[in-house]
Chain A
Amino acid sequence: MSDNLTLPEQQGTAATSSETLLEVKGLTKHFPIFGGFPIKRKVGAVQAVDGIDLTVGYGESVGLVGESGCGKSTTGRLITRLLEPTAGSITYAGQDITHASRRQLAPVRSEIQMIFQDPYSSLNPRQTVGTIIKSPMEVNGIEPEGGREKKVRELLELVGLNPEHYNRFPHEFSGGQRQRIGVARALALNPKLIVADEPVSALDVSIQAQVVNLLQEVQKELGIAFLFIAHDLAIVRHFSQRVAVMYLGKVVEVGDRESIYNRPRHPYTHALLSAVPEVGIEDEDRERIRLAGDVPSPISPPSGCRFRTRCWKAQDKCASEEPPLVQLSGNRDGHLTACHFPEDPTTQRDEDVVLDPALKVLEEHASED
């Protein structure tokens, strides 16, 4: 392993990397639910992730967006093998790691690292920063040139912290600084892939940009591939070259950034984009899509297309037949959509779509006055 941080060992040359680093096929995770009488048994399952396909190229940053309960965090935990997949396969650098044992996983584990959402609970409060960042090297028996301590100081500097703070404890740092410590820890083993699960959503607005910029530098300069999991569409757009949109355990649309944000086809992607509140866009400029209700329970998801219960274009076919994730005519290469009745590839629309019953009534009432 190279010790030199400034020399990327894996050149992430182009945005569209030809070589695949991580490939996920039909990945599924069902959490069983127990209950029943008189003897407890499995009575159902939370279908957190239900057969998703995803690829991440060398040095590529892929965004995974969706709302709570869509399975994006579970996906991250499956890929880092913190959770055991129920079905499907995970192939990392040509090696099947789906059910790899601890021992088989050891060489790979150092190459896939994770950054967590909460910078407060993900750092051990009783360890110094130095110990926290050093521990992955110790666990994996890696002795960098010049010693571990030197490497830790280099990492601290790299993430924008004072190397002198080696012996301080996490509580002496602010939220943004703690997240930098988390980044330094993830970088300690020169990973090839970092799974970042909502890395900035616990931070204040003015601090978020600091961490996003740091991650972006790390990604570009060290050529590390990222799976960036977040609910904030603007941040994902800023960070990711390709984006996958998840809904209730399924990927409903995936494609390059330009396609997802400017030429989306899936009604859910349209709804998401329309829902993002934006500074500078006047309300009159943009037609609204307002869905009805909340996301259904992943315990008993709707049949067929899972979005159909909240979709304004749903027809009988949507209930009976699950739409495959395919390239629709007019889509660019790699832009796949799972929808029977896709929208036009634009974010402009002629009129509001308001499904929420309360809004409908109130607005009809208001327009009569």
Chain B
Amino acid sequence: MTTLTKTEGTPAPNGAESFLSVRDLKVQFSTEDGIVRAVDGLSFDVERGKTLGIVGESGSGKSVTNLTVLGLHNPRTSTVDGEIILDGKELVTAKEKELEQLRGNKMAMIFQDPLTALSPFYTVGRQLSEPFMKHRGASKKEAKDRAIQMLEKVGIPQPKVRFDDYPHQFSGGMRQRAMIAMALMCDPDLLIADEPTTALDVTVQAQILDLLKDLQQEFGSAIIFITHDLGVISHMADDLLVMYAGRAVERGSVREVLHEPKHPYTWGLLSSMPRLDGDLDEKLTPIPGSPPSLLNPPSGCRFHPRCAFKDEVQGSLCSDTRPPLGEGRASACHLTAEQKQTIFIDKIQPRLR
């Protein structure tokens, strides 16, 4: 089961080479309070060497989705349905041993807080070397050379010395660099970065984001970049997926989604964000209410209780029926294309300047 033959049945939309393909993914957790539908019918594709941004607030299911791709969800409390196909290989039904072969090797992850995500008990060098030794069968010496080379690449000064340091001896930015070096040790085809700069300062964030972009150029990895920050994502991603309450509500290229958004939630996000060059007389327009509990999510469109435009949709469609998300550039909303166009031009666009 280690051969990576291409299966036929995975056509990518628009004929682009889809490297990771997620279809109708459903993740549920059973908790004491009931079943949490953390991800509810999510589909997306990532092209080789491209960056997919996933934007959403806390509880939108963006982190759960990506832990599931890596198979790091807790199998005891969660159930996963749907398909995750990485380079032709089905991951939902894959055995644990097969996933272990892929993790850190073909797909790697960068976590949000490098202080807690690196073990305090082992040196940075050791933690970097481990995956290389496991996946490449490298000797300790070879792994050390590779680790030092990677530490240097991500901009750690004196990598030979720092190899033997513990994570707590690194500064915050350096730790995240080490984390990136660790993820790139085996030259993965897919890199999942979960809020990798949220815990960092602005100037350090800018350095790390540029570093990730430059490294992607060199390593050619596909990146799934998860964040709540639209500014960060506009800087990083090629394609964008907006998630709300466990579902994707809008998809498209970064330009399309951020410049001509089509979903009321995306409109809300953009208009509630202050900008450095925004009009100061224009008040921010927040989205009313707060994100729903996934124990008991709203029926129909999950955004409808907070939506300012649900009255423009005929009847009770918004509260009854889940709006589908089409292929390619799409938004999951019952408003007609003309309505979206009119509302965006009349009401939303003026707020964004």
**Which A residues lie at the B interface, using CB under 8 A?**
67-68, 174-177, 204-210, 212-213, 216, 231, 233-235, 237-238, 257, 261, 271-281, 283, 288, 290-295, 356-359, 361-363, 365-366
Contact in complex: B209, A67 (CB < 8 Å)? no
Instruction: List B288-319 residues whose CB lies under 8 Å from chain A.
Output: 288, 290-291
Q: Return the contact of A209 from the options B173, B259, B286 (Cβ within 8 A).
A: B286
How far apart sit A356 and B212, CA to CA, in the bound complex (Å)? 13
- Nearest A residue (CB) for B55: A205
Contact with A along B159-189 (1 / 0, CB 8 A): 0000000000001111001000000000000
With both chains docked as a complex, state the minimum distance between the C-beta of A127 and any C-beta of chain B, in angstroms.
Answer: 22
Contact in complex: A261, B206 (CB < 8 Å)? no
How far apart sit A212 and B284, CA to CA, in the bound complex (Å)? 8
Contact with A along B267-294 (1 / 0, CB 8 A): 0111111111110100111111011000
With both chains docked as a complex, state the minimum distance between the C-beta of B272 and any C-beta of chain A, in angstroms.
Answer: 4
Contact in complex: A67, B153 (CB < 8 Å)? no
Interface CB pairs A-B, < 8 A, 26:
A67-B203, A177-B290, A205-B228, A206-B269, A206-B286, A209-B287, A210-B288, A231-B201, A233-B202, A237-B276, A261-B276, A273-B276, A275-B205, A277-B209, A277-B232, A278-B275, A278-B276, A278-B277, A279-B230, A283-B235, A290-B207, A293-B174, A295-B201, A356-B207, A359-B210, A366-B218
Q: Which of A175, A205, A295: most chain B CB closer than 10 A?
A: A205
Top 9 A-B pairs, shortest CB-CB distance: A358-B155, A209-B286, A209-B272, A277-B231, A275-B206, A67-B201, A362-B214, A209-B284, A206-B287
With both chains docked as a complex, state the minimum distance between the C-beta of B288 and any C-beta of chain A, in angstroms.
Answer: 8
Contact in complex: A358, B154 (CB < 8 Å)? yes
How far apart sit A277 and B291, CA to CA, in the bound complex (Å)? 25
Q: Return the contact of A294 from the options B174, B268, B290 (Cβ within 8 A).
A: B174
How far apart sit A175 and B290, CA to CA, in the bound complex (Å)? 9
With both chains docked as a complex, state the minimum distance between the C-beta of B62 and any C-beta of chain A, in angstroms.
Answer: 12
A204 with B276: in contact, given A275-B202, A362-B211 (CB under 8 Å)?
Answer: no
CB of B12 within 8 Å of the partner chain: no
Contact in complex: A357, B157 (CB < 8 Å)? yes
Contact in complex: B217, A366 (CB < 8 Å)? yes
With both chains docked as a complex, state the minimum distance between the C-beta of B283 and any C-beta of chain A, in angstroms.
Answer: 6
How far apart sit A66 and B10, CA to CA, in the bound complex (Å)? 49
CB of B215 within 8 Å of the partner chain: yes
CB of B352 within 8 Å of the partner chain: yes
A271 with B203: in contact, given A204-B58, A206-B287, A362-B215 (CB under 8 Å)?
Answer: yes
Q: Return the contact of A275 from the options B203, B273, B274 (Cβ within 8 A).
A: B203
Query: What B residues does A272 contact at CB under 8 A?
Result: 202-203
How far apart sit A366 and B280, CA to CA, in the bound complex (Å)? 40
Contact in complex: A204, B291 (CB < 8 Å)? yes
Query: What A residues does B203 contact at CB under 8 A?
Result: 67, 271-272, 275, 291
Q: Return the contact of B207 from the options A209, A278, A281, A359 (Cβ within 8 A).
A: A359
How far apart sit A293 and B209, CA to CA, in the bound complex (Å)? 14
Contact in complex: A279, B284 (CB < 8 Å)? no
CB of B204 within 8 Å of the partner chain: yes
Query: What A residues does B172 contact at CB under 8 A?
Result: 68, 294
Query: What B residues does A238 contact at CB under 8 A?
Result: 274, 278, 280, 284
CB of B57 within 8 Å of the partner chain: yes
With both chains docked as a complex, state the minimum distance between the C-beta of B253 and any C-beta of chain A, in angstroms.
Answer: 13
How far apart sit A359 and B153, CA to CA, in the bound complex (Å)? 9
Contact in complex: B214, A281 (CB < 8 Å)? no
Contact in complex: B231, A278 (CB < 8 Å)? yes
Contact in complex: B57, A205 (CB < 8 Å)? yes
Contact in complex: A212, B274 (CB < 8 Å)? yes
Contact in complex: B202, A213 (CB < 8 Å)? no
- Nearest A residue (CB) for B353: A280
Contact in complex: A213, B286 (CB < 8 Å)? yes
How far apart sit A206 and B218, CA to CA, in the bound complex (Å)? 36
A206 with B177: in contact, given A231-B201, A290-B206 (CB under 8 Å)?
Answer: no
Contact in complex: A281, B173 (CB < 8 Å)? no
Query: What A residues does B218 contact at CB under 8 A?
Result: 362, 365-366
- Nearest A residue (CB) for B156: A358
- Nearest A residue (CB) for B151: A358
Contact in complex: B215, A277 (CB < 8 Å)? no
CB of B92 within 8 Å of the partner chain: no
How far apart sit A287 and B245, CA to CA, in the bound complex (Å)? 37
How far apart sit A257 and B281, CA to CA, in the bound complex (Å)? 13
With both chains docked as a complex, state the minimum distance between the C-beta of A253 and any C-beta of chain B, in angstroms.
Answer: 15
Contact in complex: B274, A237 (CB < 8 Å)? yes
Contact in complex: A205, B201 (CB < 8 Å)? no
- Nearest A residue (CB) for B271: A209
Q: Which of B202, B215, B288: most chain A CB closer than 10 A?
A: B202
With both chains docked as a complex, state the minimum distance between the C-beta of B14 and any C-beta of chain A, in angstroms.
Answer: 24
Contact in complex: A209, B201 (CB < 8 Å)? no
Contact in complex: A276, B231 (CB < 8 Å)? yes
- Nearest A residue (CB) for B254: A279
How far apart sit A56 and B108, CA to CA, in the bound complex (Å)? 49
Contact in complex: A205, B273 (CB < 8 Å)? yes
CB of B258 within 8 Å of the partner chain: yes
A234 with B276: in contact, given A175-B290, A206-B269, A277-B205 (CB under 8 Å)?
Answer: yes
CB of B24 within 8 Å of the partner chain: no
- Nearest A residue (CB) for B255: A282
How far apart sit A126 and B205, CA to CA, in the bound complex (Å)? 38
CB of B145 within 8 Å of the partner chain: no
With both chains docked as a complex, state the minimum distance between the C-beta of A246 and any C-beta of chain B, in angstroms.
Answer: 12
How far apart sit A237 and B204, CA to CA, in the bound complex (Å)? 21
- Nearest A residue (CB) for B58: A204
- Nearest A residue (CB) for B153: A358
A279 with B205: in contact, given A209-B285, A234-B274, A359-B214 (CB under 8 Å)?
Answer: no
Contact in complex: A280, B234 (CB < 8 Å)? yes
Contact in complex: A279, B157 (CB < 8 Å)? no
Query: What B residues does A361 contact at CB under 8 A?
Result: 153
Contact with A along B209-244 (1 / 0, CB 8 A): 111001101100000000011111011000000000
